[in-house]
Structure 1
Amino acid sequence: MLILNRYIGRTVTGAILLVLMVIVGIDLLSELIDELKEIRGDYNFVEVLKYVALVAPGSIYQYLPFASLVGCLAGLGMLASSSELVVMRAAGVSTLRLVVAVIRPTLLLTLIGLVTAEYIAPATQQIAESQRALALQKSAAIHSRHGMWHRESNEFMHFNAVQPNGVLYGVSIYHFDDQRQLVGSTFAERASYLGGLWSLEDVRKVSLGEEGAVQQLYPELQWETGLSPELLNILVLEPDDLSISGLWQYADYLRQQGLNAGDYQLAFWNKLLQPITILGMVFVAISFIFGPLRNVTMGFRVFVGVMVGIVFRTLQDILGPSSMVYGFDPIYASLTPIAICFVIGTLLMMRRA
């Protein structure tokens, strides 16, 4: 049985990795084409290649559930087409044992995906975004298109580039009163975090009053804010690119500021539940092979896998925003597609039994 487990595991894992390589390759090629349009100044072709390489871990994690579904269908489909599954069943191997043999290597891939999502992808994504923003901000005006906005109380802030070591470039701060009237602005070429405080460099501060605008220049100015380098490292990334712990930390920060944290809560639950998502996809693939797809061609199996993956992702994309519009907990938006996968898989396996 050990040899059989290894054989099934090797076949399924190889198919999943092959599908993952193809999908990620297409995604990175698309990313490369998009980034070529941004080439200017210090952001040259070499920097574009570095950016694409650094975002690859995030792409791998994003497409792992989809690749698990299609790869499992392809791997088990090869065994079914060559009648190896029939021989295994005839030799007395139960369906449950075959299911366990398929799920074991999937659990290993799930563990690797979790490590990637928590430690590797957020770090490489942040380096990619900060290096690109730093290369582009020299050719930008006051605001870089690839910079980031943030709000804290009555202040709106924009940063052209955020470095992981607590250094900001192109800092713009707009001050509003309680009636939402602009009362002043501050612009600094650079800001650094030292000893628990932010220090702005080459500062231009404008105050708006009844007598008009008054401008003051400072070589250096202290800046009091609740933002820390750790929070900025989270803020610079999109919710889907953050680690699970980073999502929880920043969602808590937004709640303390009285801001909407729905996007980050939804991304948190999607990432936390992705291992179960992968298992649900694999379970659907197994039920298809032992059920309605056991006697069809490989191309049709791959087509079905792609369609199921698209439907699953579409359902996620619909339920996620719906949770914020209608006010129900984002965890239900994440759990519903997973539950549907397990229900469909269970019904198909019961029919087969």
Structure 2
Amino acid sequence: MSLGIGMVERYVLQRTMASLGAALAVLGSMVMLIAFVDIARNVGTRADINFFQLLYLTILQAPATILVLTPFIFLFGTLGAFVGLNRRSELIAMRAAGVSAWRFILPAAMAAFVMGVLTITLLNPLSTAMTAQYETTRDALMENYLKAAPKGTWLRQGDDKTQIVIRARARDQVDGSVRLRGVSLFVYTLNSKGVMDFSRRIEANEARLEPGFWRLIGVREATPGAGAIRSESLSIPSNLDDRTASERFNSPQAVALWRLPTTIARTEDAGFSATPFKLRYHQILATPLLFAAMSVLAAAFSLRLMRLGGLAALAGSGVALGFGFFFFNELCSALAKAEVLHPAVAAWTPPLVALLAGFTLLCYTEDG
């Protein structure tokens, strides 16, 4: 058996990687098709765009969706690999030769963990950049529709002495700079009692974010008990930059892992809840463990059902397991967004539960 050490692991790992590739191809094709139809319905009916623009938006949006569904790739891909080994009686031969199940399952789990690390270090930044570009391109194509939509933009900035709440009827980017139109600024200052009091309100036709300040155009400024003062332009200090301000507009999925800690800190400093960004941050960090857990759980399920027989039951149980995990993960995310659970607890609980369940089933199956 000394010659077989390493050969079994490599063979099972090769079969697993091939099955994961097939699962990725199938799931990716389905996501692309569904995303294209969804964008054509939601964007194509509200903007004058052609087929190639729809395809471009689909390519930008699809990677983020595929990454969300990647646990299913590892679950169904590993299931498919071990189903194939079952059909060819290769697992039975390995077990008859005295090869422990831990020996050919753990390498697949470790490979899934490594792929998870590569996902959060390489694919996640690429996906978030494409998502941000998708949102920017979509808004640009739907500019006329969004102008007519009654939707405002809210920002907040400040420090321990001054807080400014900013509301705008519309926003866009000009030469990479954030521009707001129909702007209202509500300025609060800290009084002698340590309480924020309303000090003045500023209305402006346009506000453009420059390095270190907002440049306001067409300004009307009013303070309590005094009349309005008009001016052509006015500069307001700001601790925001173009990238940080744009991240406030984007969803957490459009912020890269390396930018999330800074975004969380600045969001909390501005007085907003950073729970969605914290949840996203911990979910990304838990990705390698999640991938490994899905591989272990799928392999454990296949071993258990191999002894009982019935590959149809195996496939049905795998599908049920996948949807059950998905709903459990979504439940934890919803509880975190409602601030019922801490974001770290909500992000790390599903993969830990899946991993412990897989190890428990493996111990029961392998060690009795």
State the TM-score bracket (shorter-chain normalisation): 0.7 to 0.9
**Partner residue in 1 for 2:156:** 151
**Partner residue in 2 for 1:228:** 241
Instruction: Verify: 1:322 aligned to 2:331, yes or no.
Output: no
Instruction: Verify: 1:7 aligned to 2:11, yes or no.
Output: yes
**Partner residue in 2 for 1:48:** 54
1-side partners of 2:154 and 2:297: how far apart? 41
Q: Deviations over 1:175-224 (max 9, x none)?
A: 23657799443232x7364x544445xx3444568999979684x65453
The CA deviation at 1:32 is: 1.8
Secondary structure at the aligned position of 1:292 is classed as helix
Q: Deviations over 1:130-188 (max 9, x none)?
A: 1221222255427686x85433334233453347x632345343223657799443232
The CA deviation at 1:244 is: 1.9
Q: Deviations over 1:284-336 (max 9, x none)?
A: 11111111355555554333223222222222222233245465432112222
Secondary structure at the aligned position of 1:227 is classed as coil
**Partner residue in 2 for 1:237:** 250
Structure 1 gaps of 5+ residues are none
Q: What's the Cα RMSD here? A: 3.2
Residue of structure 2 aligned with 1:160, choices 171, 188, 206: 171
Which amino acid is 1:311 matched to?
G
1:328/1:17 CA distance change after superposition, 3 Å: same
Task: Report if the CA contact (8 A) 2:110-2:292 is conserved.
Answer: no
Alignment of 1:174-323 (within 5 A): 174-176=184-186, 183-188=201-206, 191=208, 193=210, 195-199=211-215, 203-207=217-221, 218=232, 222-292=235-305, 295-323=308-336
Task: Report if the CA contact (8 A) 1:74-1:298 is conserved.
Answer: no
Secondary structure at the aligned position of 1:291 is classed as helix
**Partner residue in 2 for 1:35:** 39
1:215/1:21 CA distance change after superposition, 3 Å: farther
Instruction: Verify: 1:114 aligned to 2:127, yes or no.
Output: no
**Partner residue in 2 for 1:18:** 22
1-side partners of 2:68 and 2:288: how far apart? 12
The CA deviation at 1:47 is: 2.1
Alignment of 1:338-353 (within 5 A): 338-352=351-365, 353=367
1-side partners of 2:123 and 2:307: how far apart? 34
1-side partners of 2:291 and 2:222: how far apart? 55
Which is worse superposed, 297-306 or 307-316? 297-306
The CA deviation at 1:71 is: 1.0
2-side partners of 1:265 and 1:323: how far apart? 9
1-side partners of 2:95 and 2:325: how far apart? 31
1-side partners of 2:305 and 2:47: how far apart? 56
Which amino acid is 2:355 matched to?
F
**Partner residue in 2 for 1:64:** 70
The CA deviation at 1:273 is: 0.8
2-side partners of 1:9 and 1:88: how far apart? 14
Structure index of larger Rg: 2
Task: Report if the CA contact (8 A) 1:43-1:132 is conserved.
Answer: no
In the alignment of these two chains, the number of paired residues is 346
Task: Report if the CA contact (8 A) 2:32-2:62 is conserved.
Answer: yes
1:170/1:293 CA distance change after superposition, 3 Å: farther
**Partner residue in 1 for 2:160:** none
Task: Report if the CA contact (8 A) 2:200-2:221 is conserved.
Answer: no
Secondary structure at the aligned position of 2:208 is classed as strand
Which is worse superposed, 314-323 or 293-302? 293-302
2-side partners of 1:253 and 1:101: how far apart? 41
Secondary structure at the aligned position of 1:85 is classed as helix
1-side partners of 2:74 and 2:295: how far apart? 6
Q: Deviations over 1:253-304 (max 9, x none)?
A: 1221232111211111111111111111111111111113555555543332
Task: Report if the CA contact (8 A) 1:126-1:236 is conserved.
Answer: no
1:81/1:295 CA distance change after superposition, 3 Å: farther
Which is worse superposed, 204-213 or 135-144? 204-213
Task: Report if the CA contact (8 A) 1:15-1:75 is conserved.
Answer: yes
TM-score under structure 2 length normalisation: 0.81
**Partner residue in 1 for 2:95:** 89
1:326/1:104 CA distance change after superposition, 3 Å: closer
Percent identity of equivalent pairs:
19
